[in-house]
Amino acid sequence: MSSPTHANSYYAASANDKAIRPQLTGEHHCDVCVVGAGFTGISTALSLAEKGKRVIVVEGSRIGFGASGRNGGQIVNSFNRDIDYIFNNYGDDIGQKMAKMAFAGSELIRHRIKKYNIDCDLKHGNLFAACNKKQFEELKAKKALWERHGHNELELLTADTIQNHIGSDRYAGGLLDKKGGHIQPLNLVLGQAKAFEELGGQIFEDSEVIRLEQGKPGKVVTKQGTVVADTIVVAGNAYMFGLLPEIEKKAMPCGTQVIATEPLPEEIQKQLLPTDHCVEDCNYLLDYYRLSGDGRLIYGGGTTYGARDPGKIESIIVPKMLETYPMLKDTKIDFAWTGNFLLTMMRMPQVGKIGDNLYYAQGYSGHGVTNSHLMGEILSDAIDGEMERFDVFASMPQYQFPGGRMLRIPYTAAGAVYYNLRDKLGI
């Protein structure tokens, strides 16, 4: 039987670590078993190992196989729902506590990269690009909001000054977040996995979990082996496949598509993104793009609801890229791939505890790079008895999508069409 492989992406092709970890066989014992070797799982495992816990990670495919190894690679601060929304919908107490965590994920990523000398093409700065005047006014409000909560490394850009950063006339202005940035995401998770293993942790790949047995201790069961653990963490996100049906009902897998061009001449790179920041626009169905470490343009977007894999990714993404950069019409596309992330009804992460010793976190709704790293630290603290930050997330209600399994996709897609039309009309 052949071993599972990563998607045929630029990230997999440029991965620093292509070693395959062993399959779980026999019975193993540990303090904590983490199910899933993406950002959430590896961040949790590394944080626990730093505390001296005996941790085993069980992964159904490969480290970073899901969204963690396929995303746009952008370090974007805050949550899908921003701080003002949290205050308005969850109250001042939760709002204040969430505001303190809104920028912690990016800080943790940089700390890990420096501490463990992770080679993942870290570059600083991300741009929010406004496609119309309404969006530009919203970026003014975002800047004021974030500054009220202590984030002062922001610069508002007009339609003229944004062209110092983006070689396109599409935008009415923008906001530069100097605390944002971008990375090669698969190398980031692989680098943390290596650090975890150097601290004594174990990772088993090609070991799909078929059953969780709750109790004291709990059991994580695969076809070939079992892990007996005092505590279990489920971090499968969009790839859980029936392990915890009660929480899977509360979120919906969505697909996003990404392409990577051939390496571009340096003068073209400077023309496209003179300051080498990553970009995401402010549309509901947004585009995002950046330059890779070896000078490719990585361009993504094209959200699909219900995790459908489009047959021809280039046909979705290339027209978007050419709308921004018409000069790339003859540029070769070397890679095209898709991946699933998990969307929640309230667009906020879903975090909780089932029974005495099973924890879960899921549903970052497009903000997974920063939120998942933060969540790993929060889960680790909770397992170690420090519950304050965990309880903030766990206290927020978790709703199922309306319409049940059959209708949640068309309902959500219809909403996306409505908001996409508003973006085009600038209302």
Residue 151 has pLDDT above 90, yes or no: yes
More confident residue, 284 or 197: 197
Contact 73, 276 (CB under 8 A): no
Residue 412 has pLDDT above 90, yes or no: no
| CA 370/CA 128 separation, integer angstroms | 16
Mean pLDDT, range 305-334, rounded to an integer: 87
Q: What is the pLDDT of residue 309?
A: 62
pLDDT classification of 426: cutoffs 50, 70, 90: low
Mean pLDDT, range 392-406, rounded to an integer: 77
Mean pLDDT, range 60-64, rounded to an integer: 97
pLDDT classification of 402: cutoffs 50, 70, 90: low
Residue 47 has pLDDT above 80, yes or no: yes
Mean pLDDT, range 121-138, rounded to an integer: 98
Residue 239 has pLDDT above 90, yes or no: no
Mean pLDDT, range 163-181, rounded to an integer: 98
Q: Collect all residues with Cβ–Cβ distance below 8 Å to 229 and sequence separation of at least 6.
A: 29, 30, 31, 32, 33, 56, 217, 218, 219, 220
pTM of the model: 0.93
Contact 197, 203 (CB under 8 A): yes
The dihedral built from the CA positions of residue 95, 380, 188 and 111, taken in this order, carries a sign that is positive
Mean pLDDT, range 105-132, rounded to an integer: 98
Mean pLDDT, range 79-87, rounded to an integer: 95
Q: Tell me what percent of the residues of the chain surpass a pLDDT of 90.
A: 81
Residue 326 has pLDDT above 90, yes or no: yes
Q: What is the pLDDT of residue 411?
A: 38
Q: What is the pLDDT of residue 401?
A: 72
| CA 185/CA 70 separation, integer angstroms | 7
pLDDT averaged over the chain? 91
Residue 3 has pLDDT above 90, yes or no: no
Residue 63 has pLDDT above 70, yes or no: yes
Q: Of 259, 401, 245, 242, give the one whose Cα is nearest residue 324.
A: 259
pLDDT classification of 359: cutoffs 50, 70, 90: very high
Residue 424 has pLDDT above 50, yes or no: no
Classify residue 173 by burial, with Cβ atoms within 10 Å: 0-12, 13-18, 19+: buried
* The two three-digit tokens of residue 410, written as one number: 């068309």
pLDDT classification of 73: cutoffs 50, 70, 90: very high
Residue 410 has pLDDT above 50, yes or no: no
Q: What is the pLDDT of residue 20?
A: 96
pLDDT classification of 303: cutoffs 50, 70, 90: confident
Mean pLDDT, range 129-141, rounded to an integer: 97
Tens of pLDDT, residues 247-258: 888 888 888 899
DSSP letter at 238 equals G
